[in-house]
Amino acid sequence: MNNHIRYLLIGNSRLHWAEFENNTYKFTHTSLKDSLNKDINPSDLIWASVGNQSNLKLNKNNEVKTKDIDSINIPIHFGVDRALNCFCALKTIENPYKKNLLIADFGTTLSITKINNLGFVLGGQLIPGLKTQLKSMVANTKLLEFPDEIMIPSSDFLIDSKEAMLKGVCNSLSGVINSLFNPQEDILILCGGDSKLFGKLIKDQENPINIRPNLTIEGLILFSDSFFKKNKSC
Mean pLDDT over the full length of the chain: 92
**Burial of 193: CB neighbours in 10 Å, binned 0-12, 13-18, 19+:** buried
1 pLDDT band, cuts 50/70/90, is: very low
Tell whether the model's pLDDT for residue 203 goes beyond 80.
Answer: no
pLDDT value at position 39? 84
pLDDT greater at residue 37 or residue 194: 194
Residues 137, 172 contacting (CB under 8 angstroms): no
Nearest to 87 by CA among 103, 113, 69, 67: 69
CATH architecture group of domain 96-216: 2-Layer Sandwich (3.30)
pLDDT tens column, 109-120 = 999 999 999 999
Cβ atoms of residues 1 and 18 within 8 Å: no
Give the Cα separation of 5 and 153 in Å (integer): 42
Mean pLDDT of 200-211: 80
Say what the pLDDT of residue 97 is.
96
pLDDT for residue 229 is more than 90: no
What are the phi and psi torsion angles at 210 (to 5°)? -85, 115
For residue 225, what pLDDT is reported? 84
Extents of the domains making up the chain: 96-216
Model confidence pLDDT, tens digit, residues 36-52: 887 889 999 999 999 87
Asked if residue 167 lies in contact with residue 152, where contact means CB atoms within 8 angstroms, the answer is yes
Share of the chain above pLDDT 90, in %: 79
Q: Which of 152, 106, 110, 113 is nearest to 128 (CA)?
A: 110
The whole-number pLDDT of residue 234 equals 46
